[in-house]
Amino acid sequence: MGLFHCPLGAPYYDDDACIDCGLCYAQTPEEKVEASRKIREYMKAHAPRTTAVSKVAVCGKGGSGKTTVVALLTLALKEAGRRVIVIDADESNPGLGRMLGIEGESKPLSDLFCEDGLFAERERFSMDEIPPRFVSDVDGVRFMAVGKILDPFQGCACSMAESARQIVEKLELKEGEMLILDMEAGVESFGRGVERHADTILVVVEPSFESIVVAGRIARMAQGMGIGRVGAILNKMSSEAMANRTKQELEKWDVKVFGTLNYSLELAETAFEGKPVCSRASVEEAGIIFKALTCAMSL
């Protein structure tokens, strides 16, 4: 049993963290489904109960605009006085650091957990304890990346997913700090349980059938893990009518909508040119979405 395949983070079968769900030795599809059911039940029963919005995982279909939404939320939160910590947990897409105006690359977090066994064994840590070589700082926003697959035969991305999972679980946030993760596209990270310790899942949805279906699946998986705050951000909406149609489709999957980001030519142009995100209107829309989200939580 490899370190990175147990959704509960057990390093080996029969370790203290192992609940004997049977996933790592399941042979048949039925055994896998049963093991997955046991894991979901366990996660639901042990999910942290919190009303705070402090660890936010941004998910969605590839191309839905997750990375742009993370950048917009980061800028909006920074303007609102939050100390934002951003994790690029997508091992393929290289754009987030650039969108935030970060030049150069910090050391990948997967190296931190692989190189420093003692660090990996810690139960909790704060941002101050993460060595600076793993952190880029731009205008008060602290940015880290799990790593990228850059070469053929480099190996699988398990160590990167595991480092994201450990950060979500173990990073202790101080007053005013907020963690936002740009997750890899699709549902694979849910299969690995990376988001398990997030308190909020935002699913970015563009106006397409695939994006809506993926959002529905993500919402079900997130709720199955016991994450209570799950909702969609509609992105790249060209009209109110399109936003309403997308909302109606999401209702069929029981996915609530936290807000809408309208299509922005300015954003499309900066994305094409590889420049930092700067659309004032979109940052304001992201700020409104976040305010609505936190207000809804206090109801």
Provide the H-helix boundaries in the chain. 29-46, 66-79, 95-99, 109-115, 117-121, 158-170, 188-192, 209-224, 240-252, 265-273, 280-298
Q: Shortest approach of ligand SF4 to residue 1 CB, angstroms?
A: 5
| 203: DSSP letter | E
Q: By three-state DSSP, how is residue 201 classified?
A: strand
Q: Which stretch binds ligand SF4 (CB under 6 A): 20-28, 97-105, 186-194, 251-259?
A: 20-28
Based on C-alpha coordinates, what's the Rg of the chain? 19
Element (H, E) at 88: strand 83-89
CB closer to ligand SF4, 20 vs 31: 20
Is 20 a binding residue for ligand SF4 by CB under 6 A? The answer is yes
6 near ligand SF4, judged by CB under 6 A: yes
CA distance linking residue 110 with residue 148, whole number of Å: 10
Which lies closer to ligand SF4 via its Cβ, residue 7 or residue 207?
A: 7
Q: Is 194 in the site for ligand SF4 (CB under 6 A)?
A: no
Q: Select from 11-19, 49-57, 120-128, 231-239 the region that touches ligand SF4 (CB under 6 A).
A: 11-19
Residue pair 229/217 in contact (Cβ under 8 Å)? The answer is: no
Is residue 1 involved in binding ligand SF4 (CB under 6 A)?
A: yes
Spatial contact of 56 and 199, defined as CB atoms under 8 Å apart: yes
Between 10 and 185, name the residue whose CB sits nearer to ligand SF4. Answer: 10
21 binds ligand SF4 (CB under 6 A): yes
# residues near ligand SF4 by CB under 6 A: 12
d(CA 286, CA 233): 9
Instruction: Determine if 43 is a binding residue for ligand SF4 (CB under 6 A).
Output: no
Amino acid, single-letter form, for residue 144: M
- For ligand SF4, which stretch binds (CB under 6 A), given 14-22, 231-239, 251-259, 277-285? 14-22
**Smallest gap, in angstroms, from Cβ of residue 165 to ligand SF4?**
13
What's the order of all strands across the beta sheet hosting 136-138? 136-138, 141-145, 83-89, 177-183, 55-60, 200-205, 229-237, 257-262
Q: Counting contacts by CB under 6 A, is residue 283 touching ligand SF4?
A: no
Length of the chain: 299
If one asks whether residue 24 binds ligand SF4 (CB under 6 A), the answer comes out as yes
Q: Which of residues 134-193 bind ligand SF4 (CB under 6 A)?
A: none
Instruction: Select the residue interacting with ligand SF4 from 3, 4, 8, 177 (CB under 6 A).
Output: 8
Write out the residues near ligand SF4 by the rule CB under 6 A.
1, 6, 8, 10, 13, 18-24
